Amino acid sequence: MKLQDWETTQFLFQEEYRVPLLSSAVAAVLGTAGELILPLLLTIGLLGRYAALGLSAVNVLAVVSYAHVLLSDGFEAALGQHYLWGLMLLTLLVFGTGRLSLDGVIAKRADALP
């Protein structure tokens, strides 16, 4: 949806999301790219730790930028979802994506080279 209506996406980053340290235009591009590209990398298991780190940054920035809503009464479950995603991404950062991921296959082939 963010790509289909870029004007609305930019409006949200200008008026609703309060991303610190970045202009709303840069935040809109980076946030949208991160939400689209990084999950794809995780799904195929390529650059998994980097993708998990990038999504962790998106997750933290979402909480910081939307804290005025997430820290309000009645939004405890929404904040809990960010904690859950943070824990899952931390697990991938620590343990990697596994042997069946593209990262694992590439590492196995690299180890087999003389």
Confidence class of residue 19 from pLDDT cuts 50, 70 and 90? confident
Q: Above 80 in pLDDT, residue 72?
A: yes
Determine the pLDDT at residue 110: 92
Angle, vertex CA 64, rays to CA 60 and CA 70, nearest 5: 105
In whole angstroms, give the CA distance from residue 66 to residue 22: 14
* Segments making up each domain of the chain, as ranges: 6-112
Backbone conformation region of residue 18, classed left if phi is above 0, alpha if psi is from -120 to 50, else beta: beta
Higher local confidence (pLDDT), 18 or 30: 30
Buried b (16+ CB within 10 A) or exposed e, 10-44: bebbeeebebeeeebeebbbbbbebeeebeebbee
Which pTM was predicted? 0.85
User: Mean pLDDT over residues 13-33, rounded?
Assistant: 89
